[in-house]
Amino acid sequence: MTAMPRFSSQPMERRPSRSWALIITTWLFVGVPLAWGVTQSIIKSMALFH
Amino acid sequence: MLDILDRKYSVAGPGYNRWLVPPAALAIHLCIGQVYAFSVFILPMTKLLGTTHSVPGDWTQSQLAVIFSIAIFFLGLSAALFGKWVEKEGPRKAMFAAASCFGSGFIVAAAGVTLHNLWLVYLGYGVLGGIGLGIGYISPVSTLVKWFPDRPGMATGMAIMGFGGGAMIGSPLAVGLMKFYSTPFSVGVVETMLTMGAIYFLFMMFGVFTVRVPAPYWKPAGFVPDDQPHKLVTNANVLADDAWKTRPFWLLWVILCFNVTAGIGILEQASPMIQEMLLVPAATKGIDPANTTAMAQATAPLAAVAGGFVGLLSLFNMLGRFFWSSISDYIGRKNVYFIYLLLGSVLYFLIPIAGRMGSTPLFVGVCVLILTMYGGGFATIPAYLRDLFGTMQVGAIHGRLITAWSVAGVLGPLLVNGIRDYQIAHGAVGVERYAPTMYLMCALLLIAALCNYLVGPVDSKYHVRVKDLGHVPATELQLKGK
């Protein structure tokens, strides 16, 4: 039997997420490696300005 | 157990915040963007037998450079072939498939290195990894467009920015791991590939289990779809099988292909170009060319400086993906492509002028601006497709359009290197080695600008009608007014 798709009767943003900590943690999970990569790239590109 | 990957289990429940979706998409794109950093493996892989230097039987650089081309070719092929499957099964299953292919691609390639079987490396990183790239690249696009109908350019720009950033993580990570694993008897490539395969698989799993699709008819708080949309923004939908029968699809195909080819014109030869046009003439000014020792001493540090230039290009390539695609939400897709293509053609024309002036700041400034628009071209195309073809199968349509990237990725380097070799063979030096390529790129961008001018609304005969929807998942039935 095929499960019925769930419907949202109202926009979700009117029911704020229980945990902003989850959003911050999620962004940090991808943001930290990205920031590390960007930093490495900036350090490497410094050679251009010496 | 794998049922958890089904689309029906990934429909967002009440309270789910849509800002959790972009990190899920970024987790995928940050990993698969590693492909741009594959070149860091090439030199160590030419010394697998000799360890400290290449010996007879070791692979050559040209044999290994093919791996990247195979991966990009299979990226386009798999995105085109599996696009409809991705739409049908949803982002979670597609991301899982991408993680499995990309992660196992590293493992098979490591087996190929261990057995010193180049075909196994081609099969692993090139074919299997390339399929992972294609599925992974398109998997979050459709979902993001549906979560952010108010700002689709910004949303897809965030994800595709990750693809640009992936190289910035992948390159130092691979270099650091090879340094860690290397011994007097091994360059550490096998262990590095196994470690990276595992790390990337796990990181992509984070995306798999974080991503959600919105419930049907969901819309952001306060968002009211424009009932009288602009000429080029439709509320209708076009199926992927019909999209490529339309003129706008092929016009966008040419635009993407030429924009990517032009970007390759810079990326492919960035390091030799800045050295031969600017750095070497400046460093050797006043030195007698016959004095080879003094010439060698003066030019020795220039490779590192050129490496810094390449790093700067990668950074601006990434930033441009987010910046320009976000701007497109305000000024429109067609206008932002006019900026890429017309301003881009002027900037390509300026490169030889900057070289003849000997102005490094002008040269670097022009190149980084071009690279922002190269990245922007990639990042804005999903939103352009959404405007013209609707949201229903935008991921699958995007997948088919990516074949333009594959064509440019294979033909672009051939064209660019062919012109440079021809110029060198005919005695050209310095700026003149590169000027014809830059003028050609300028012309390609002007042709692409003409194509952009010709882009118009899709003929309404291709719009989806209710009777066409037999095979389209129920969760996709977001057809306004039908």
Which of A 11-50 lie inside 8 A of B, CB atoms?
Answer: 11-18, 22-23, 26-27, 29-31, 33-34, 36-38, 40-42, 44-50
Chain A interface disruption, residue of B147, B204, B312, B313, most A CBs within 10 A: B312
Mean pLDDT over B6-18 rounds to 85
Q: What pLDDT does residue B286 have? A: 83
Residues of A in contact with B307 (CB under 8 A): 44, 47
- Rounded to the nearest angstrom, the minimum Cα separation between B154 and chain A is 16
Q: Which residue of B has its CA nearest to A14?
A: B221
Hey, which residues 218-247 in chain B have their CB within 8 Å of chain A?
Answer: 218-223
- The CB density around residue B202, as the number of other CB atoms within 10 Å, is 12
Q: Which of A27-41, B3-17, B187-201 has the lowest mean pLDDT?
A: B3-17
Contact between B376 and B324 under an 8 Å Cβ cutoff? The reply is yes
Output the CA torsion B353→B356→B357→B362 (10° steps): 50
pLDDT at A9 over 60: no
Least Cα distance to B475 among B58, B111, B146 occurs for: B146
Most confidently predicted of A3-12, B104-113, B401-410? B104-113
Q: pLDDT, tens digit, for every residue of B249-293?
A: 999 999 999 999 998 878 877 888 888 888 888 888 888 888 888
Which range has highest mean pLDDT (A3-7, B194-198, B404-408)?
A: B194-198
Instruction: Measure CA B189 to chain center.
Output: 25
Q: What distance, in Å, lies between the first and last C-alpha atoms of chain B?
A: 36
Q: What domains appear along chain B, each with residue ranges and CATH number?
A: 2-214 (1.20.1250.20), 240-283+301-463 (1.20.1250.20)
Instruction: Name the β-bridge partners of B314.
Output: none
pLDDT band at B228 (very low <50, low <70, confident <90, very high): low
Structural tokens at position B143: 């979902």
Decide: B25 and B162 in contact? Cβ < 8 Å. yes
* Cα torsion through B403, B311, B33, B48, rounded to 10: 100
Tens of pLDDT, residues B111-167: 999 999 999 999 999 999 999 999 999 999 888 988 998 899 999 999 899 998 898
Q: What pLDDT, in 10s, does the model give residues B37-94?
A: 888 898 889 889 888 888 888 898 888 888 988 998 899 999 999 999 998 899 999 9
Tokens representing residue B474 in the block:
């129920």
Stretch B366-372: mean pLDDT: 95
* Closest among B176, B179, B156, B170 to B68, alpha carbons compared: B170
| pLDDT tops 50 at residue B219 | yes
Residue B168 near residue B34 (C-beta atoms within 8 A): no
- Tell the residue number behind the tokens 């990276």, with chain if given: B196
Task: Specify the 3-state DSSP secondary structure of B139.
Answer: coil
Which phi and psi angles does B183 have, rounded to 5°? -130, 175
**B186: β partners:** B183
| Residue A48 clears pLDDT 80, i.e. is over it | no
Q: What is the pLDDT of residue B192?
A: 96
Contacts of residue B98, defined as CB under 8 A and 6 or more positions apart, other chains included, come to B28, B32, B132, B133, B135, B136, B139, B204
Task: Work out the minimum CA distance from A21 to partner chain B, whole angstroms.
Answer: 11
Average pLDDT in the B418-426 region?
A: 88
pLDDT at B479 over 50: no
Statement: residue A15 has pLDDT above 80? no
In this complex, is the C-beta atom of A6 within 8 Å of any C-beta atom belonging to chain B?
A: yes
State chain B's mean pLDDT as an integer: 88
Mean pLDDT calculated for residue range B383-403:
92
* Res B232 pLDDT > 80: no
Q: Which residues, 6+ apart, have CB-to-CB distance to B259 below 8 Å? A: B340, B341, B344, B373, B374, B377, B445, B448
Q: Which residues in B326-363 are b (16+ Cβ under 10 Å) and which e?
A: bbbbeebbbebbbbbbeebbebbbbbbebbeeeebebb
- Which letter does DSSP use for residue B237 in this model? -
Residue A27 has pLDDT above 60, yes or no: yes
Q: Answer whether residue B299 shows pLDDT above 90.
A: no
In this predicted structure, the answer to whether residue B434 has a pLDDT above a threshold of 70 is yes
Higher pLDDT, B137 or A13: B137
Which of B268 and B21 is assigned the larger pLDDT?
B21
Coil, helix or strand for B46?
A: coil
* Range picked from B1-10, B371-380, B420-429 for highest mean pLDDT: B371-380
Look at B315 and A1; give whichever has higher pLDDT: B315
The pLDDT-based confidence of A50 (bands split at 50, 70, 90) is low
CA distance B24 to B43: 33
Pair of tokens at residue B232: 């080029």
B209 CB within 8 Å of a chain A CB: no
Name residue, tokens 């943001």: A31
As beta bridge partners, residue B11 has: B213
Half-sphere exposure of A44 (CA within 13 A, CB side): 22
CB B317 within 8 A of CB B372: yes
Higher pLDDT, A18 or B206: B206
What per-residue confidence (pLDDT) applies to B467?
59
The whole-number pLDDT of residue B323 equals 96
The string of pLDDT tens digits covering residues B171-203 is 899 999 999 999 988 999 999 999 999 999 999
Per-residue pLDDT, B174: 93
